[in-house]
Amino acid sequence: MIHNIDIKKSAVETLELEATAIQHLTQTIGEDFVSVVNKILNLQGRVIVTGVGKSAIIAQKIVATFNSTGTPSIFMHAADAIHGDLGIIQENDLIIALSKSGNTPEIKVLVPFLKQTGNTLVALVGNLTSFLAQQADYVLDTSVSREACPNNLAPTTSTTAQLAMGDALAVSLLTCRQFSDRDFAKYHPGGALGKQLYLRVADLSDQNGRPEVAPQANIREVIITITKFRLGATAVIDKHEILGIITDGDIRRMLEKYEDLTGLTAGDIMATSPKTIERNELAVEALQQMRQHNISQLLATQDGSYQGIIHLQDLLKEGII
């Protein structure tokens, strides 16, 4: 029976081997890497990434990362390529072929056809003397000393190195393109991540209406306004100027403080200097402000003019939290 201590030891050794392999890659970044980045930056076509076996899986991930960061890419399985998928490749495309050995049968059959097309061929390979490395225009060295597998067989360290090199390419490319968070949002419109990058305060506050009362409004009017809009608060406005905010909490504190509510007005119980946010700010910025000040609402403004309220519940509904 394997003891827990041996399980932990095996896990640590695996991570250490893979970390060492990635650290080794820093010494392999040379002129070929720079040339590949520049080639892709000036590419009129797409990046075609190919491989077989586990390398094919890593190739698919590299394609996904490229596409999400502004580098149009397509995955082509090396085995399928020699059975019709070569038609994917267009005149101005660049091809990245992944292989640990660089000598697999599929690669040996595929590479001559790739050379005939005249496209730039980049080898992301773990064997610098291999057939693939010798035939490629540029070589990205992902060689490793051994696999993390105790039998030195199952692709583990080698695929980690391939994955890391792919990330290095993608990040170098987006850095050169000055790829911003707004650019990133174009390719990630769905889910919480996308919403954090494009959803704005106005997108939410405009749906809520604009609860407001005058400073001379009586308590009944204040409570009716807060209840009507279901935002737990109302702004106190005088001649388009924001004077304060009244929340559900202010109402409760008022009831504790005053026995006689006769004559009390919004101006008497409002909190002055309410927290505001410009309506064109990202909604995630509103969340950060709410967390910072431990509040549930912010007044949305445009050039200092009151436009409505954004509530914590709005952010919850959109999945931003």
Which residues, in sequence order, are bridge partners of residue 247? Answer: 233
Lowest mean pLDDT among 85-89, 115-119, 122-126, 180-184: 180-184
Name the residue type at position 31. Answer: E
Q: Is the pLDDT of residue 12 over 70?
A: yes
What is the spatial distance between Cα 157 and Cα 289, in angstroms, rounded to a whole number?
Answer: 43
Give the residue-averaged pLDDT of 265-280: 95
Confidence grade of residue 51 (pLDDT, cut at 50, 70, 90): very high
pTM, entire model: 0.68
Task: Kindly report the average pLDDT of the chain as a whole number.
Answer: 92
Q: What are the tens digits of pLDDT across the range 211-229?
A: 999 999 999 999 999 999 9
What is the spatial distance between Cα 130 and Cα 123, in angstroms, rounded to a whole number?
Answer: 10
Q: For position 180, what pLDDT does the model report? A: 74
Where are the chain's structural domains?
A: 4-179, 201-317
CB 306 within 8 A of CB 243: no
Render 276-313 in DSSP notation, one character per residue: EEETTSBHHHHHHHHHHHT-SEEEEEETTEEEEEEEHH
When the candidates are 3.30.70.580, 3.60.15.10, 3.40.50.10490, 3.90.550.40, the CATH number that belongs to 4-179 is: 3.40.50.10490
Q: For position 261, what pLDDT does the model report? A: 84
End-to-end CA distance of the chain: 44
Render 28-68 in DSSP notation, one character per residue: T--HHHHHHHHHHHT-SS-EEEEESTHHHHHHHHHHHHHHH
Closest CA to 120 of 49, 63, 173, 59: 49
CA angle, corner 270, sides to 256 and 258, nearest 5? 25
Q: Virtual CA dihedral for 145, 150, 156, 160, nearest 10 degrees?
A: -50
Q: For position 191, what pLDDT does the model report? A: 63
Closest CA to 243 of 278, 284, 279, 271: 271
Tokens 């000393």 sit at which residue? 145
Q: For position 111, what pLDDT does the model report? A: 94
CATH fold of 201-317, please?
A: CBS-domain (3.10.580)
Give the residue-averaged pLDDT of 192-197: 70
Alpha helices in the chain (DSSP H): 4-25, 31-41, 54-68, 78-81, 105-117, 131-135, 157-176, 181-187, 191-198, 201-205, 219-229, 248-257, 266-269, 283-293, 312-317
